[in-house]
Amino acid sequence: MDQLNQVAVYKKANVYFDGKVTSRTVMLPDGSKATLGIMLPGTYTFSTDQKERMDIQAGELEYRLENGDWIKIEGEGSFDIAAHSSFEVKVVSVVDYYCTYG
Amino acid sequence: MDQLNQVAVYKKANVYFDGKVTSRTVMLPDGSKATLGIMLPGTYTFSTDQKERMDIQAGELEYRLENGDWIKIEGEGSFDIAAHSSFEVKVVSVVDYYCTYG
């Protein structure tokens, strides 16, 4: 089982869209932040402060970056989002994701 | 912000009831397991192997232990579940919980 070692986890969840998107904040050994999250079926728009990398661990979705096309991920896949921008997702089946920042 | 330090977190989520209940497994420094989870509105039944302690961090629910009465928790509260038994929950608003085992 793939795991994150020697980390700190905030006990309080991050809850968005009435609980259809939730995540836990993890502080990695190098001091950087990551989140482990769940997205239930639906369409969501997120904005970014820092650059983000979304690693999809399971589930099916389509994502679209600003001025980009819809791109499908099924099962596993990753995409990078620029800082100070936004992205949309259409979640088809429960998505398990890992997001890193900066 | 209350956090768990020096832990390991399994990257893969635990997903139940079509994603309406999800959690992350955390391995604590003493080697014991815990989970940080979310329950969306709905009614669910869980069974236990080990003794469990459910710490409700946010949200509203009612729970019922085997042969017990419905008991309401709103916001924060805890309850203990015997090993090899089961409990029911009626979740009214998104619940953020922390569960410890044994």
Interface pTM (ipTM) of the complex? 0.94
Using a CB-CB cut-off of 8 Å, the residues of chain B touching A19 are 38, 40, 94
Residue ranges and CATH numbers for the domains of chain B are 8-62+69-101 (2.60.120.10)
- Here the tokens at position B72 are 């309401």
Q: Are B33 and B23 in contact (CB under 8 A)?
A: no
Residues forming beta bridges with residue B25, ordered by sequence position: B35
Among B1, B13, B27, beta carbon nearest to A96: B13
Inter-chain CB proximity B36 and A24 less than 8 Å: yes
Inter-chain CB proximity B6 and A4 less than 8 Å: no
Closest among B90, B17, B98 to B60, alpha carbons compared: B90
Mean pLDDT of B1-29: 97
Q: If pLDDT is split at 50, 70 and 90, which confidence band does A72 have?
A: very high
Residue A33 is predicted with a pLDDT of: 97
How many CB atoms are located within 10 Å of the residue A32 CB? Answer: 12
Q: If pLDDT is split at 50, 70 and 90, which confidence band does B99 have?
A: very high
Residue pLDDT, tens place only, A2-60? 999 999 999 999 999 999 999 999 999 999 999 999 999 999 999 999 999 999 999 99
Q: If pLDDT is split at 50, 70 and 90, which confidence band does A71 have?
A: very high
B40-78 burial code (b ≥16 CB/10 A, e <16): bbeebebebeeebebbbbbbbbbbbbeeeeeeebeeeee
Give Cα separations from A68 to A7, A50, A62, A76 (angstroms).
35, 19, 12, 20
Burial class (CB in 10 A: 0-12, 13-18, 19+), A41: middle
* Residue B3 CB contacts under 8 Å (≥ 6 apart), including other chains: A8, A9, A10, A11, A27
- pLDDT of A1 higher than 90: no
What is d(CA B81, CA B26) in angstroms, rounded to the nearest whole number?
Answer: 19
Q: Are A26 and A94 in contact (CB under 8 A)?
A: no
Task: Calculate Rg over the CA atoms of chain B.
Answer: 13
Inter-chain CB proximity A6 and B10 less than 8 Å: no
Percent of chain B with pLDDT over 90: 98
Q: Are B25 and B15 in contact (CB under 8 A)?
A: no
Q: If pLDDT is split at 50, 70 and 90, which confidence band does A101 have?
A: very high
Give Cα separations from B2 to A11, B27, B57, B93 (angstroms).
6, 17, 11, 22
* Residue B31 CB contacts under 8 Å (≥ 6 apart), including other chains: none
Using a CB-CB cut-off of 8 Å, the residues of chain A touching B2 are 10-12
Q: If pLDDT is split at 50, 70 and 90, which confidence band does B90 have?
A: very high
Mean pLDDT of B56-62: 98
